[in-house]
Chains A and B, each alone.
Chain A
Amino acid sequence: MPLRDYSLIGPEAEKAVQKGLAAGAWYRPDIPRWQMKDLMQRRDGPAIRDTMLWIALFILSGAGGFYFWGTWWCVPFLFCYGVLYGSSTDSRWHECGHGTAFKTRWMNDAVYHIASFMIMREPVIWRWSHARHHTNTIIVGRDPEIVATRPPNLFQIYLYFFGITTVPKALQKMAIHAMGRLTEEEKTFVPESEWSKAYVIARIHLGIHALPFALAIHFGSWLPLMYFGVLPTMYGAWLGVYFGLTQHAGLAEDVLDHRLNSRTVHMNPIFRFVYWNMNYHIEHHIFPMVPYHALPKLHAIMAPDLPKPYPGTIAAYRDIIGALLRQRTDPAWTIEPELPALAKPCQPAVPGNATPAPAA
């Protein structure tokens, strides 16, 4: 099988359009309108509660790290601080980007912008990138957010856990945007009317990223670098990557059915707090406007149509690691989730005269 080109401006992009995958009709279960309205209702309460707790944990872990700085006792505190900074911000960025975490718009926007800085995802570019990811989930040549390409580069995936490649790449993109340019790929999903906003925000973010370095030099201490900027994004990235890989890795490409290209994994309450329920990832992709706090309810409603959820992350990783190892030599191989006998069938084909999508 020839290697696939995952760029958005290569031959696969054109093929995805020709096959009808770019504008395909996705599988959706039949859920009554009254029930969907109930599920989509916005509330401020859960996200305010979770955000207050989130801030309190930042303060506690940060204060502990500061107090014990210079001793080994600072390590567990900064370990927690790093996870909050470099991992839990992923889900805050994500949910607030969807505009579903809070009912009050400015709260979504405020947390979105703060989390965007912390996770180093420029808010304008990544809002559009993520919209595309939802339109064309794991469609090669269309989705800018495919993490585990085929054949997978396992060493690169390993480096993701420490932000060793992702953070420098994010800084490089920020510099490009700050100079008033977008990459050719970004131009395919960010409308021109948004470009100037992206340039301004990139300049602001770069300026703020310089601040901890200036403070470190001024105070002659590493401490400011541990608390904000690139370093906590890197040393705290691992749990976010651990969760993030469960979303799609090893599953089908180029299908119009989120049950075949996304994964739902049961997680414990601590993980679900950090991840804001994004473990219900099939459900989230099928109905992205259902807030994180309503996803367990949506999961219960949709369960008869979904593959059996993984009982935990260990079980998910057994499948993912096996799939990634196999895809190194057989890139066409894919995990095939088993649908319940009475589930609505897989999306059989793309519309029009397009070639049917593989029924993974």
Chain B
Amino acid sequence: MSSNWIEACAADAIEQEDVIRFDHGGRTFAIYRSAEDDYFATDGLCTHEQVHLADGLVMDDIIECPMHNGRFNYRTGEAKGAPVCVNLQTYPVKVEAGKVLVQLD
């Protein structure tokens, strides 16, 4: 296992079509589990006004910021329109032995 794969949480700690917050190294991330049981990771704060995305709602491939309705595709990080104009950084994720691992920079 590469040294920069970081254990974020247990795979079953996230419900299907949901997100949780993961803090590491002074940074905050959002870890997603899709309806199809795939896992994804992005930066944890909305690129609009630094709100924690883990408090938002996951709908299909979209994470919605809980404050201003900023919407991102959490698989690609793409910002889906105002009030978000800057894409989210995404990170590779894998599941091993029931743990979600995130490859951080």
CB of A193 within 8 A of CB of B85, answer: yes
Shortest beta-carbon distance from A147 to chain B in Å: 21
Minimal beta-carbon separation of A55 from chain B (angstroms): 24
B83 touches which of A23, A100, A127, A289 (Cβ 8 Å): A127
Which one of A36, A98, A134, A194 lies within 8 Å of B82 (CB-CB)? A194
Whether A99 is near chain B, meaning CB under 8 Å from some CB there, is yes
- Assess whether B56 is in contact with A289, with CB atoms less than 8 Å apart: yes
| Residues in A neighbouring B49, C-beta threshold 8 A | 131, 135
What A residues does B59 contact at CB under 8 A?
42
* Residue on A nearest B51 in the bound complex, by CB: A135
Judge whether A37 and B57 touch: CB under 8 Å: yes
Q: Does A27 contact B (CB under 8 A)?
A: no
Contact call B67/A289, Cβ cutoff below 8 A: yes
Are B69 and A124 in touch, CB under 8 angstroms? no
Q: Is residue A317 within 8 Å, beta carbon to beta carbon, of the partner chain?
A: no
A135 and B67 form a contact (CB under 8 A): yes
Question: B68 near A191 (CB under 8 angstroms)?
Answer: no
On whether the beta carbons of B57 and A98 are closer than 8 Å, the reply is no
Is A287's CB within 8 Å of the partner chain B? yes
Q: Are A131's CB and B83's CB within 8 A?
A: yes
Given A191-B85, A193-B85, A194-B82; A289-B69 close (CB under 8 Å) = yes
> Which residue from A41, A194, A288 sits with its C-beta under 8 Å from B68?
A288
Note all chain B residues with C-beta closer than 8 A to A193: 85
Complex Cα distance, B82 from A127, in Å, reads 8
Nearest-CB residue, chain A, relative to B62? A105
Q: Please report the C-alpha to C-alpha distance between residue A41 and residue B67 in the assembled complex, in whole angstroms.
A: 15
Given A36-B55, A40-B57, A42-B59, also A289-B64 (CB < 8 A): yes
For the complex, give the distance between the alpha carbons of A21 and B55 in Å.
Answer: 22
Task: Give per-residue flags for A40-75: 1 if the beta carbon is below 8 A from chain B beta carbons, else 0.
Answer: 111000000000000000000000000000000000
Residues of B whose CB lies within 8 Å of any CB of A are 18, 48-50, 55-57, 59, 64-69, 71, 82-83, 85
Additional pairs, 14, CB under 8 Å, beyond known A131-B48, A135-B49: A23-B50, A40-B56, A40-B57, A40-B66, A99-B69, A99-B71, A127-B82, A128-B82, A131-B83, A135-B68, A194-B85, A288-B69, A289-B56, A289-B67
Q: Which 5 A-B pairs have the closest CB atoms?
A: A99-B69, A40-B57, A131-B68, A131-B83, A289-B66
